[in-house]
Every structure is written in C-alpha cells, then in structure tokens.
C-alpha cells in the first residue's frame, strides 16, 4: 500500500507539483488502485488548487461527484492498460488531463492525475460542445465557461514536456514507496531476530556488526593480549575499552585513560612513566607514572596515533620488557599492565609515511577491533534513540517522549558523520527543546538532519540528469518563445513566468537567448 499522506511531504514531488502548477496551471491528484482520490480534502479547498476548472468543479457537490467519477473511469482505463500514461478528456469534454500509472513490481498501485489543459485555442464550436456536455451532467454550464477560458493551451512540444514531468511524479512516487518498504523490511527483520543481544555493558546495538563485536569481546575476556581499537570519531572506542577492562580478571584494579594527543613529548613521558624529584624544573617530588597507577589493571592509550615517535620507542620497550624507567631515574621498575589502545587514524598509512613505528604497531595490534560507523549499522538507530530518550527523560524527570514517524525517518536517513556522539547530542537537544511536550516532531530536528534527505533527493542521479535536462530545455523554450511574444519586454515576461527580472536576465544569459545573438529573419547571419 502506498503511504499517500506522506507524498505531500516529499520535496521532489512537491517541487514538481509546483512547477506543473506554475507553468501549465495544472493540479496534481493521486488516485489509488480503486480510483479513489487520495489527496483531496474538501475542507481545504481553495488553498491547494491552482487549476481554474478543478477548483470550480470541486467547489460544488455535483461538480465534485462528476469529477470523482471521471477520475474513477480514468483509473479503470489505466488499470487495464499497459501504457505508462493516457491523455483523457475531462468532464467538459474539451479539456484534457493526463493519467500516469504508478507500478511497483508490475503491480498497479494507482495513478498520478494532472488536470487539465487545452490542446487548441477555444473556438465557439468548442464552447458549445462544453456547454452541452456539462449540461448533460446536470452542471450549471455557464459558471464554468470563465474557468475554461483560463486554461492553458499547450502546443505539441509543451505537451511532451508536460507528460514527461507527470511521468516523473509517478516515478518519484514509486521510488519513495520502494525506499520506504525496503527500510521497514530491514528494521522489522532485525527486530524479529531472536536471541540477538541488545547490549554489552553500556554499549547498545543489535546489528550484525555489533553482534560480531560482542562475540569478539566474549572471546578476549580473559586474555592478556594488547588490543587495538580502530574506528571513526564517536563510534564508541572508549566504551569498548572499558567493557574490555570491566569484563576481565583485572576488573578490580584500575582502568586508567591517557589521551596521547593531549600532551607534548616531555609531559607525556613523565605522565606515562613518572619522574623523580629534581629531574626537571617543576619536578619537586617523585611522581608515579600512569603505568604504575594502572599496575594489575588496564591502561587505555587513547589516540595512540598522536604519540610522538620518540615516545613510541619507549612504549615499545615497556611492552616488550614489562619494565620502565621513570624520567630522571636509573632504576628500572616492573609493571603488570594490560594495554588497550585506540585511534581513529589509519596506522598502516602512518607507517608508510614514517609517522608510526611498524614494530610498535605489530606489538599493540595483537587483537584488532574495528568499530563500525553508525551509518553502516542503521538498524541500531531506533534502539539507540530509545536508549538515549529513556535515559535523558529520566535524568530530567520528564515523561518519556515519542518520535513522530517522519522525524524517525529523517534521523534514519541521515549519514551521521559524527556517529553516536552526534546522535546522542541531537537527542539531548530534542529533549530539552520539547520540554514538557511528549512528541518530538520532524520540524524541531537540527536543520542538517531535517533537510538532508531533501537535498540528497534533489541531487539524485535521475533528478540531476533527466529532470534537470528536460526542465532546462522547457525553460529555455518558454523563455525564447516568451521573449519573442513580449517583444523582449523582460519585466513583463518575468512577471508572466513568476520569476524575478534579475532571475530572467540570468537565464537569458545562461541560455544565450540575448536579442543581439538571435539573428532576425532576413538578416545576414
Ligand atoms: N554502542 C553504544 N551504545 C550507547 N552509547 C554509545 C555507544 N557507542 C558510543 N556511545 C556513546 O557515544 C559517545 C561517544 O563514545 P566514545 O567516547 O566511546 O567514542 P570514541 O570512539 O572514543 O570517540 P572519539 O573518537 O571522539 O574519542 C559516548 O557518550 C558513548 O557513551
Ligand atoms: Mg575516544
């Protein structure tokens, strides 16, 4: 089933509708496979309709009935046909409208109807015919003549563009529908999987990559080997390091974190290995290094890719010998520490660039954990959201909030360059913004998340290619024809086309339609 209500929120579809309304004065209707109109609400009549005849017909009970009947007949025709679209006469008999089929997996799901236009200038004979046809329907024909005269007359070329645009709307509906179903299938398949683990300590996630990670963490529980955790920013490297420690036999000793990028070389040296009194200015007493603080426990070397080369040598020695020498001392001390290191850098590449020692790399990379970015495990997004919402609301003593479906979808579609941390911050922000309100709507999402899908869709291959080309061609021909008709009166033409004068001038420039560049007939080129 197509989610018809959602269609009006799809940017491309809305945009195409606006273009059709603006250039051809047509309205777009969606009908389902039984021929029922899906996007017409009598209570909001005038605000949405742009076509003079559909507005007039739908405004009155009788006209509405006839109109609905016409569309139901058109649906019958589309249903039984193999053709992508049909051009069909409307209730007045002389105006025409387009019905373009929506087909998914060869199944007919409904149509897009674009109502309506004229193929020829109105003649007295046509007016008589319209009066008769409308009269036969029991419609008060005189009221509709004004509307008929306002309809756009489309020549053959314009009709071709017009049809192409209507077909594009139908294609966009198909794209939207398939995308949504695929996403829903993926989520429900995952939710139905039995026996998957939901979390590991405070780590949340039940996607396949996370299950693999949990499996690995189980295996290395009682191992003493060093671990290297690699992953992009905010993917949970620190959380994993903690899980390793708190699930190991060392859990009753300390878990100590050193951020290697936060110190210069000398400070890192004394921070890690300690120093003796007087070894440098400011060393007023002996100080234990973090290696010793972590004795019998775990030392987490965060951002190890930022460790200066000279320090890498020292670290390698400690890892190989199990002994260290504090700064300014000659005495060697024994330590029993398990090292877990993390980085978001590509250490292999750094080795090639001589920025990281290969021997140290192999020494720390005994067990390698790669944390998948959030964009590769979107299935985890709903449970992560649940987790962050529950936690955040509890902290703030608020009733638990729920997400509007559309807000959820936008969050799902966003590529999360900042990963879980970015998601966590966004949820925190939404909780604060909604205050006592229990619903989180799409409108309050951060703009980058809310608007992401839209720009993406507008840049999509098909839209960027076919639509853009055909729109440009149409635009060019309309401007060219308009310039001749208005005798190069750009202000008047701009008004007619509904764009600014500056905008028109730019387009004239772009399409090289300037008067001086178009040779007049009879003039030598
Ligand atoms: N699987 C997860 N479940 C729940 N929360 C998570 C998960 N992964 C990460 N987080 C949360 O996301 C935030 C970032 O995680 P963490 O600091 O461990 O990432 P990181 O990889 O060390 O980031 P950075 O590269 O910036 O140092 C933390 O607040 C953490 O609690
Ligand atoms: Mg970190």
Tokens of residue 495, six digits: 């008004």
Tokens of residue 435, six digits: 């205050």
Taking the model in full, what pTM does it have?
Answer: 0.63
CATH fold for the domain made of 200-372: Rossmann fold (3.40.50)
Domain boundaries, the chain: 4-184, 200-372, 375-457, 460-517
Which ligand 1 atom minimizes the distance to the CA of 424? 12
Q: What is the pLDDT of residue 517?
A: 54
Of the candidates 86, 17, 74, 10, the residue with the CA atom closest to the CA atom of residue 49: 17
The tens digit of pLDDT for each residue in 343-357 reads: 999 999 999 999 999
| pLDDT greater than 90 at residue 506 | no
State whether the beta carbon of 234 lies less than 6 angstroms from ligand 1. Answer: yes
User: Which of 197, 206, 227, 421 has the most ligand 1 atoms within 8 A of CB, as the residue to mutate?
Assistant: 421
Q: How would residue 140 be classed by pLDDT, with cut points 50, 70 and 90?
A: confident
Angstrom distances, CA of residue 436 to CA of 44, 281, 404, 405, 470: 31, 56, 16, 19, 49
d(CA 183, CA 175): 12
Of the candidates 96, 98, 71, the residue with the CA atom closest to the CA atom of residue 85: 98
CB-side exposure of 154: number of CA atoms within 13 Å?
Answer: 23
Which ligand 1 atom minimizes the distance to the CA of 234? 23
User: For atom 8 of ligand 1, which residue has the closest CA?
Assistant: 236
DSSP assignment of 293-362 equals HTTTSEEEEETGGGS-HHHHHHHHHHHHHSEE--BT----EE---EEEEEESS-HHHHHHTTSS-HHHHH
Which residue's structure tokens are 């030598």? 524
Question: What spacing in Å lies between the alpha carbon of 232 and ligand 2's midpoint?
Answer: 9
Which ligand 1 atom minimizes the distance to the CA of 229? 21
The tens digit of pLDDT for each residue in 159-184 reads: 988 998 899 899 889 988 888 787 77
Average pLDDT over residues 10-26: 86
Of the candidates 179, 221, 227, the residue with the CA atom closest to the CA atom of residue 364: 227
Cβ contacts of residue 317 below 8 Å, gap of 6+? 324
| pLDDT greater than 60 at residue 518 | no
The tens digit of pLDDT for each residue in 240-265 reads: 999 999 999 999 999 999 999 988 88
d(CA 17, CA 169): 8
d(CA 272, CA 293): 9
The 3-class secondary structure across 173-206, one letter per residue, is HHHHHHHHHHHHHHHHHHHHCCCCCCEECCEECC
Residue 33 is given by DSSP the state T
CATH fold for the domain made of 375-457: Helicase, Ruva Protein; domain 3 (1.10.8)
Chain-centroid distance, C-alpha 41: 29
| pLDDT greater than 50 at residue 459 | no
Q: What percent of the chain has pLDDT over 70?
A: 92
Q: How would residue 365 be classed by pLDDT, with cut points 50, 70 and 90?
A: very high
The tens digit of pLDDT for each residue in 124-135 reads: 999 999 999 999
DSSP assignment of 363-391 equals HHTTEEEEPPPGGG-GGGHHHHHHHHHHH
Which residue's structure tokens are 């853009």? 468
Q: How would residue 187 be classed by pLDDT, with cut points 50, 70 and 90?
A: low
User: For atom 5 of ligand 1, which residue has the closest CA?
Assistant: 203
Q: What is the pLDDT of residue 161?
A: 85
The tens digit of pLDDT for each residue in 273-293 reads: 999 988 888 888 888 999 999
Q: How would residue 71 be classed by pLDDT, with cut points 50, 70 and 90?
A: very high
Omega cis (within 30) before 116:
yes
Mean pLDDT lowest for which of 59-68, 85-94, 385-394, 460-469?
A: 460-469
| pLDDT greater than 80 at residue 407 | yes
Q: Which residue has the higher pLDDT, 19 or 93?
A: 93
- Exposure string over 420-431, b if 16+ CB within 10 A, otherwise e: bebbbebbbebb
Q: What is the pLDDT of residue 455?
A: 55
State whether the beta carbon of 427 lies less than 6 angstroms from ligand 1. Answer: no
375-457 and 460-517 agree in CATH topology = no
Cβ contacts of residue 348 below 8 Å, gap of 6+? 361
Q: What is the pLDDT of residue 434?
A: 93
CATH fold for the domain made of 460-517: Arc Repressor Mutant, subunit A (1.10.10)
The tens digit of pLDDT for each residue in 442-455 reads: 999 999 999 886 65
Chain-centroid distance, C-alpha 261: 33
339 contacts 302 by C-beta, under 8 angstroms: no
Question: What spacing in Å lies between the alpha carbon of 431 and ligand 1's midpoint?
Answer: 19
User: Which of 204, 239, 304, 381 has the most ligand 1 atoms within 8 A of CB, as the residue to mutate?
Assistant: 239
Question: What spacing in Å lies between the alpha carbon of 47 and ligand 1's midpoint?
Answer: 48
Ligand nearest to the CA of 301: 2
Which ligand 1 atom minimizes the distance to the CA of 235? 21
């Amino acid at each position: 089933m197509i989610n018809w209500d959602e269609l009006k929120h799809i940017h491309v579809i809305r945009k195409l509708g606006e273009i059709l309304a603006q250039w051809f004065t047509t309205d777009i209707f969606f009908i389902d496979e039984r021929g029922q109109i899906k996007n017409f609400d009598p209570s909001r009549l005038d605000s949405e309709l742009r076509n003079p005849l559909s507005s007039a017909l739908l405004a009155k009970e009788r006209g509405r009935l006839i109109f609905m009947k016409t569309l139901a007949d058109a649906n019958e025709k589309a249903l039984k046909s193999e053709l992508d679209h049909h051009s069909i006469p409307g209730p007045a008999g002389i105006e025409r409208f387009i019905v373009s089929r929506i087909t998914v997996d060869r199944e007919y799901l409904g149509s897009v109807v674009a109502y309506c236009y004229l193929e020829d200038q109105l003649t007295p004979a046509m007016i008589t015919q319209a009066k008769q046809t409308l009269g036969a329907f029991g419609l008060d024909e005189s009221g509709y003549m004004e509307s008929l005269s306002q309809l756009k007359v489309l020549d053959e070329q314009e009709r071709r563009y017009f049809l192409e645009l209507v077909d594009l709307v139908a294609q966009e509906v198909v794209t939207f529908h398939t995308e949504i179903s695929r996403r829903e299938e993926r989520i429900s398949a995952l939710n139905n999987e039995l026996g998957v683990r939901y979390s590991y300590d405070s780590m949340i996630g039940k996607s396949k990559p996370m299950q693999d990670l949990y499996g690995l963490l189980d295996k290395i529980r009682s191992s003493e080997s060093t671990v290297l955790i690699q992953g992009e920013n905010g993917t949970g490297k620190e959380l994993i390091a903690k899980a390793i420690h708190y699930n190991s036999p060392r859990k009753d000793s300390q878990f100590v974190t050193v951020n290697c990028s936060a110190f210069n070389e000398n400070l890192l040296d004394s921070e890690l290995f300690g120093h003796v009194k007087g070894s440098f200015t400011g060393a007023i007493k002996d100080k234990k290094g973090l290696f010793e603080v972590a004795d019998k426990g775990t030392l987490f070397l965060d951002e190890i890719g930022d460790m200066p080369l000279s320090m890498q040598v020292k670290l390698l020695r400690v890892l190989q010998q199990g002994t260290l020498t504090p700064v300014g001392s000659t005495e060697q001390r024994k330590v029993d520490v398990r090292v877990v290191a993390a980085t978001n850098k590509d250490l292999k590449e750094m080795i090639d660039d001589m920025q990281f020692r290969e021997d140290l790399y192999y020494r720390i990379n005994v067990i390698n954990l790669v944390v998948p970015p959030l964009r590769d495990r979107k299935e985890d997004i709903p449970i992560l959201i649940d987790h962050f919402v529950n936690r955040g609301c509890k902290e703030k003593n608020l009733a638990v909030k729920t997400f509007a479906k559309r807000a959820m979808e936008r969050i799902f579609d966003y590529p999360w360059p900042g990963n879980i941390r970015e998601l966590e911050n966004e949820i925190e922000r939404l909780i604060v913004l909604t205050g006592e309100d229990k619903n989180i709507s799409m409108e309050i999402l951060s703009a980058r998340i809310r608007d992401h899908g839209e720009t993406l869709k507008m840049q999509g291959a098909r839209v960027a290619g076919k639509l853009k080309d055909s729109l440009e061609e149409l635009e060019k021909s309309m401007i060219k024809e308009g310039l001749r008709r208005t005798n190069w009166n750009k202000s008047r033409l701009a008004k007619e086309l509904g764009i600014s004068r500056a905008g028109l001038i730019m387009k004239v420039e772009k399409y090289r339609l300037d008067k001086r560049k178009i040779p007049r007939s009879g003039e030598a080129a």
